[in-house]
Amino acid sequence: MAKRVGILTGGGDCPGLNPAIRGCVMKGQEFGFEFVGLVEGWKGLVEGITMPLSVDDVKEIISKGGTILGTSRTNPYKKEGGVQKCLDNIKKLKLDALVALGGEDTLGVATKLYKEHKVNVVGVPKTMDNDLSATDYTFGFDTSVTIAVDAAGRLKDTGKSHRRIMVLEVMGRHAGWVALFTGIAAASDWTLLPEQKVSEQDVEKMCQHLRKVHERDKVALVVISEGVKLPGADAGKEELDEFGHMILRKRGIAQQLCDVIEKKTSIETRSAVIGHMQRGGPPTLFDRILGTRVGYKAAELVNEGNFGKMVAQRGMDIVPVPLEEATGELKVVTSDWMKLMETFFK
């Protein structure tokens, strides 16, 4: 039976979304599906805003950054009558199934719609943070870390010329995977993650180490995750989004750290924030293939009527897992990873 399938992308964008949309639409065509693009995440379903999504629309998008569907952090559960509007629009648009591409927030909504209202939904994990529990990797992560590692190398070059300590701030508000991988791959001299509780003594220890490294190498590199809290720092009044997450862009943690390091070491220190540059641009090979595979698998699950699932990478395989498993708990950096990271602060 031919099916009408709605697709949406919610939350922060990341490279790999377009390959995933393409994978789903092109596989779905083999099953005779007709796709409806829901524009800007859950907002598109709440407000009934759609765009056409045929094979012709997606054929050439594998190398494109961003998402052709647009995205938002709209939470239907936080909008007056939002959930009912979603249900009404599913009927109005004659959607037999929904494919939701997103992180813990977008998929959290998908889980609730499936459990509470029996909406036929399949989830596709995406996030540059790589912090979804039920999958080994999410697309977006490889590209954003690749960009951050490149930026770190550039910072080190200019830092060395000027005999400075350089601080690079990368994204990651609750999970430090991006900072961890960037730090290891760029051979940083110190890396700070949101999972760590940073004490005054830790800052002291870091500064002593940076002094030693700077004396030896004429430069030192620090990578810090945007979600780190420094001791004594004034976090200010943090703005929250519709999912209750802090909007961190106004905090400037890298500059705060820069000031602390400069004061304690008396070495000239500069900071840089890579920010959204990490989320744009063409996806890497890894993210193109992973995006394609999870999108393809999502179309298969819709065809099988295997709803309430998220497609996950487990080892080399793409498998269905219950949506709940994916959204129950955030995957954060473990102490084993931290030990490995610290080995290279020499």
Catalytic residue among 13, 57, 88, 129: 129
108 near ligand F6P, rule: CB under 6 A: no
Nearer to ligand F6P, 6 or 11 (CB): 11
10 near ligand F6P, rule: CB under 6 A: no
Provide, rounded to whole angstroms, the least separation between the CB of residue 175 and ligand F6P. Answer: 8
Nearer to ligand F6P, 226 or 300 (CB): 226
Reading the block at residue 264, the tokens are 């304690």
Provide, rounded to whole angstroms, the least separation between the CB of residue 109 and ligand F6P. Answer: 15
Binding ligand F6P (rule: CB under 6 A), the pick from 129, 142, 169, 195 is: 129
241 is catalytic: no
300 near ligand F6P, rule: CB under 6 A: no
Closest CB to ligand F6P: residue number: 12
Q: How do strand 34-38 and strand 50-52 relate by DSSP bridges?
A: antiparallel
Nearer to ligand F6P, 165 or 257 (CB): 257
Contact 107, 327 (CB under 8 A): yes
Stretch that binds ligand F6P, among 110-118, 123-131, 198-206, 228-236 (CB under 6 A): 123-131
Nearer to ligand F6P, 23 or 102 (CB): 102
125 near ligand F6P, rule: CB under 6 A: no
Provide, rounded to whole angstroms, the least separation between the CB of residue 40 and ligand F6P. Answer: 13
Task: Classify the C-alpha dihedral 156-249-10-122 as positive or negative.
Answer: positive
CA geometry: angle 331, 295, 88, nearest 5 deg: 90
Provide, rounded to whole angstroms, the least separation between the CB of residue 271 and ligand F6P. Answer: 17
Provide, rounded to whole angstroms, the least separation between the CB of residue 110 and ligand F6P. Answer: 16
229 near ligand F6P, rule: CB under 6 A: no
Binding ligand F6P (rule: CB under 6 A), the pick from 97, 100, 109, 171 is: 171
Task: Classify the C-alpha dihedral 74-37-292-305 as positive or negative.
Answer: positive
Provide, rounded to whole angstroms, the least separation between the CB of residue 264 and ligand F6P. Answer: 27
Binding ligand F6P (rule: CB under 6 A), the pick from 12, 82, 183, 291 is: 12
Stretch that binds ligand F6P, among 21-29, 75-83, 121-129, 257-265 (CB under 6 A): 121-129
101 near ligand F6P, rule: CB under 6 A: no
Active site residues: 129
Residues of this chain that interact with ligand F6P (CB under 6 A) are 11-12, 103, 127-129, 171-173, 226, 248-249
